[in-house]
A = this chain, B = another copy of it.
Amino acid sequence: MGRTTDDLLRLAAEVSATQPGRELDMLLTAGERISMALLCMALADLGVPAASFTGSQAGIITDEVHTRAKILEVRADRLRAALDEGQVPVIAGFQGVSTARDVTTLGRGGSDTTAVALAAALGARVCEIYTDVSGVFSADPRVVPSSRRIDRLSFEEMLEIAAGGSKVLALRSVEFARNHKVPLHVRSSFTWEPGTWVVEEDPSMEQAIVSAVTSDVSEAKVTVAGVPDRPGVAASLFRALADRAVNVDMIVQNVSKAGTTDVSFTVPKLDLSTSLEVAHDLAEQIGAGEVSADDSIARVSLVGAGMKTHPGVTATMFEVLAGKGINIEMISTSAIRISCVIRDELVDQAVQALHEAFRLGG
């Protein structure tokens, strides 16, 4: 059924240039409706009593922001009743009902988030996420054949891994799981072997210095040159970007020379044209210089909860990259992550070298 959403969007584009969010949500929820009804029929065929529930029927109450609603509350009494009757509830992911009683969709990462929200509402011991890989790996196995499945991660590490470009779990669902302390078990749809557990950090457990290397080529870099070095100027740029709902990731500001500075930031490639528009407008207003874009960048990150107490990681990372002749263009760090922006054609080489240097292999 994977193609349904694209088919529906194509139909919408055929009949209409203006696609009101309310109607787009009504349209897009048809796909999961079809899938879950068919799944329940297949379960019935196997003698398993199952019942499908729309987001609305499952009590998933959202705000009124169509196509990217946020879950406000889960009123799970109908699901509890179904479970008490011995039924297997099959719930439409990615959708809910707004406080105005309209159908909403949750946008990107919405299906994983639905699962975690239901696990939290039902007080489940664990939320199992079945996927096409057997867990979270120390690096992308297609890039690093020796990469190893990680048995256990803290929520914070998983957040950084998701933010760093891993596609296994949506960032949003990990945030929800952390906020509601729902243990996640990421595992394969095709085998019964245990996968990766994502749990609250246990102070007694020994923390890997580095758990994983991640990479991401979905971002582009924008540079505004000659920005007047006055308080509030940079803020006005990022406020304007936020107002257009652009998610800025990394920001670097060069040292000031002659009263001006260069500001570089990364944004999703999808938001590049909006970002350039905003940057050009602002550059004109504030009398800044040239605005330039670079969409051939990659971000490579090291994530590990033990990094906090081992200050040498950054230095080792820089040495490893330098040893391969890879130039570092931007740097950003958190307590448990270091990210470097490099040329995108060098990203696999960087991931392989870092994975080997930090001995992450099996």
Q: Please, how many angstroms separate the alpha-carbon atoms of A15 and B37 in the complex? A: 10
Q: Which residues in B have their C-beta under 8 angstroms from that of A31? A: 30
Partner of A17, one of B23, B38, B45, B51: B45
Q: Please, how many angstroms separate the alpha-carbon atoms of A33 and B24 in the complex? A: 11
Q: Which residues in B have their C-beta under 8 angstroms from that of A36? A: 26
Q: Please, how many angstroms separate the alpha-carbon atoms of A327 and B179 in the complex? A: 81
Q: Which residues in B have their C-beta under 8 angstroms from that of A40? A: 20, 22-23, 26
Known: A23-B52, A51-B22, A78-B101. A15 touches B33 (CB 8 A): no
Q: Shortest CB–CB separation between residue A99 and chain B, in angstroms?
A: 14
Q: Shortest CB–CB separation between residue A51 and chain B, in angstroms?
A: 7
Interface residues of A in 270-324 (CB under 8 A from B): none
Q: Shortest CB–CB separation between residue A164 and chain B, in angstroms?
A: 37
Known: A34-B30, A78-B101. A23 touches B11 (CB 8 A): no
Q: Please, how many angstroms separate the alpha-carbon atoms of A23 and B29 in the complex? A: 16
Q: Report the contact-size class of chain A (Cβ under 8 Å from the partner).
A: 35 or more
Q: Report yes or no: A42 in contact with B30, Cβ–Cβ below 8 A.
A: no
For the complex, is A346 an interface residue (Cβ under 8 Å from B)? Answer: no
For the complex, is A236 an interface residue (Cβ under 8 Å from B)? Answer: no
Q: Shortest CB–CB separation between residue A200 and chain B, in angstroms?
A: 37
Known: A41-B18, A41-B19, A44-B18. A34 touches B11 (CB 8 A): yes
Q: Report yes or no: B17 in contact with A27, Cβ–Cβ below 8 A.
A: no
CB-defined A-B contacts under 8 Å, sample of 23: A8-B34, A11-B34, A12-B41, A15-B39, A15-B45, A16-B38, A16-B42, A17-B45, A18-B41, A20-B40, A20-B41, A20-B44, A22-B40, A22-B51, A22-B52, A23-B37, A23-B41, A24-B41, A26-B52, A30-B37, A33-B33, A56-B56, A78-B101
Name the residue of chain B whose CB is nearest to the CB of A53. B26
Partner of A26, one of B33, B56, B101, B103: B33
Q: Report yes or no: B44 in contact with A16, Cβ–Cβ below 8 A.
A: yes
Q: Which residues of A contact B (CB under 8 A)?
A: 8, 11-12, 15-20, 22-24, 26-27, 29-31, 33-34, 36-42, 44-45, 51-52, 54, 56-57, 78, 101, 103
Name the residue of chain B whose CB is nearest to the CB of A25. B37
Known: A15-B42, A16-B44, A20-B44. 4 other contacts (CB 8 A): A15-B41, A22-B40, A23-B52, A26-B36
Name the residue of chain B whose CB is nearest to the CB of A40. B23
Q: Which residues in B have their C-beta under 8 angstroms from that of A20? A: 40-41, 44
Name the residue of chain B whose CB is nearest to the CB of A1. B11
Name the residue of chain B whose CB is nearest to the CB of A17. B45
Known: A44-B18, A45-B16. A30 touches B30 (CB 8 A): yes
Q: Report yes or no: A27 in contact with B34, Cβ–Cβ below 8 A.
A: yes
Q: Please, how many angstroms separate the alpha-carbon atoms of A223 and B14 in the complex? A: 55
Q: Which residues in B have their C-beta under 8 angstroms from that of A44? A: 16, 18-20, 23
Name the residue of chain B whose CB is nearest to the CB of A41. B16
Q: Please, how many angstroms separate the alpha-carbon atoms of A16 and B37 in the complex? A: 11
Q: Report yes or no: A33 in contact with B41, Cβ–Cβ below 8 A.
A: no
Q: Report yes or no: A37 in contact with B41, Cβ–Cβ below 8 A.
A: no
Q: Which residues in B have their C-beta under 8 angstroms from that of A27? A: 33-34, 37-38, 41
Name the residue of chain B whose CB is nearest to the CB of A11. B38
Q: Which residues in B have their C-beta under 8 angstroms from that of A8? A: 34
Q: Please, how many angstroms separate the alpha-carbon atoms of A52 and B71 in the complex? A: 22
